[in-house]
Each structure stands twice: as C-alpha cells, then as structure tokens.
C-alpha cells in the first residue's frame, strides 16, 4: 500500500489570497460604467481612458512614412496607415478601427471617403500614443479613439 501525504494550505495564505482577490475586484468594479474614467500609468506618461465616447467630424486618411527610411542606412520600419477625425472645432483625434481580430491597416477596409462627415464611438485614450516625431507628415492628435461603432452622417 502506498501512503500519500496531503498538503494543506495555511490559513494565512488563504487570507492573503482572499484579500488580494477582493482588492482586484474592487479595482475592476471602479472601472465599470458607474465610473467611466480609468487612468493608466507608465514610467513616461499617464493615460486616461474614457468609455463610450462619441465624436462627429471629417474623416481623414494618410499613409505616414517613417522618417528613418530617409536616412542612410534606411530603417526597415513599414509605412503606417493613419485614420483620424477632425472635429468642427479643429481637434484631431486618431481613429483606431478593428477589422476582425486585428487593427485595420488598409484604406479599403474603411467604408468612408476622404473628408466625409462621420460619427464614431468608442474608448478614448488621452493623450494619443501616436509617435508624431517619427513619421512624415507630422501629425498631432490629442487622443486615440478605439472605435467600436461608426457611421456616415
């Protein structure tokens, strides 16, 4: 007959797991619709996220070229498809569209024409994460809108 031993968790480890779980659930509930603003911190910037934000404005698209491709030796960074919305007051907001499981990277994937007035709704991340000093043309955005609903106006 083989004798097996059974290892029991100590009450102290159970209590620490319970406290950690309650703390995580409290943070998660703070990010739900009753509190639509969520802040994210990184070593270099603080980002604020806003759920279910909508904008109306003119849709624009540009193929941004990496500045490093114009120096010798050139870098191997590809061009970036950049979609953005310019509101009536002139604010520029980068639009991040989803095409299936990935981000849209071709102009043909978006059903709007250049300058068309659109409505876009999604999660807003402030400030924009677009690296404006690394691409031409130099584009500056106040925020990024991760779009989950859009239509022509």
CATH 2.40.50 fits 46-152, yes or no: yes
Confidence of residue 88 (pLDDT cuts 50, 70, 90): very high
With contact defined as beta carbons under 8 Å apart, do 19 and 11 qualify?
no
Confidence of residue 105 (pLDDT cuts 50, 70, 90): confident
State residue 17 phi and psi, 5-degree precision: -65, -40
Per residue in 23-79, pLDDT tens? 333 333 334 344 355 555 556 678 899 999 999 999 999 999 999 988 888 888 889
Nearest to 153 by CA among 65, 61, 88: 88
Question: What's the rounded Cα separation, in Å, for the pair 140 and 147?
Answer: 18
Tell me the CA distances in angstroms from 83 to 2, 34, 87, 88, one per residue in order. Answer: 67, 30, 13, 17
Question: Under DSSP, is residue 105 helix (H, G, I), strand (E, B) or coil?
Answer: coil
Mean pLDDT calculated for residue range 123-134? 93
């Amino acid at each position: 007959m083989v004798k097996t031993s059974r290892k029991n968790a100590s009450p102290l480890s159970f209590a620490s797991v319970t406290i950690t779980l309650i703390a995580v659930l409290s943070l998660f509930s703070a990010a739900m619709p009753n509190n639509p603003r969520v802040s994210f911190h990184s070593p270099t910037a603080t980002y604020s996220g806003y759920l279910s934000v909508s904008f109306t404005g003119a849709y624009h698209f540009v193929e941004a070229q990496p500045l490093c491709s114009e120096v010798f030796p050139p870098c191997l960074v590809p061009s970036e498809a950049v979609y953005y919305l310019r509101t009536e007051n002139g604010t520029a907001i980068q639009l991040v569209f989803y095409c299936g499981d990935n981000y849209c990277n071709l102009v043909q994937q978006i059903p709007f024409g250049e300058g068309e007035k659109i409505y876009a709704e999604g999660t807003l991340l402030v400030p924009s994460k677009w690296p404006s000093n690394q691409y031409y043309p130099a584009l500056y955005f106040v925020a990024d809108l991760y779009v989950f609903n859009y239509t022509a106006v």
